[in-house]
Homo-oligomer: A and B are copies of this chain.
């Protein structure tokens, strides 16, 4: 296919800062929406949750680094991407009320090929791999949650393969704005192009035509 956006170098950079004020996360609420936990599982989960905040531009997980956490986003936006031959490819954006992790890195505890950074100030609640693993072993209901969560991820990825296959650049863009109206104003044209696998120039042309 060979697509993606040329890599540009940005000079604006904010430093990282961890929020000190702890607030309640919707992590468990959304776990239960995927699959209802038993009372015991929920009680075992709650004390393991770790609030973590990221500043806009801050790296959450980078290449070669093992992703040790499953995150839930309470607020904010994150991009999950990689470089290849001077191009940038964005695999996915994750925003509020969604779980995310680096799929293969987390599940196999192997180094990530991808980079995850915050596109906005982002508040998450996370659980460590070791805890995740324990909860899966101890609680059948938590294992069921995990199964459903990762099955959903597999289905989402399958859908993306299908889209990439049969849609041209214009169709890809239309589908994207259709399915992500809430993200449209929050993602730059360049990032949108990197997600769609087209050049920024092509996306600009598409936009101007409509």
Residues of A at the B interface (CB closer than 8 Å) are: 1-4, 82, 84-85, 87, 89, 91, 103-104, 107-108, 113, 136, 140, 143-144, 146-147, 150-151, 153-155, 157-162, 164-168, 172, 197
Contacts and interface: CB of A to CB of B under 8 A. Distances in A.
A147 B153 CA distance: 12
B89 A165 contact: yes
* Dominant SS among interface residues on chain A: helix
Nearest to A2: B168
What is the oligomeric copy number? Answer: 2
A20 to B, nearest CB: 35
5 contacts: A2-B168, A103-B155, A140-B140, A143-B147, A151-B154
Contacts of A89: 162, 165-166
Contacts of A82: 162
Contacts of A164: 1, 161, 164-165, 197
Contacts of A103: 151, 154-155, 158
Contact of A146 (B85, B147, B197): B147
Contact of A158 (B4, B84, B144, B157): B157
A151 B85 CA distance: 29
Nearest to A107: B151
Nearest to A104: B155
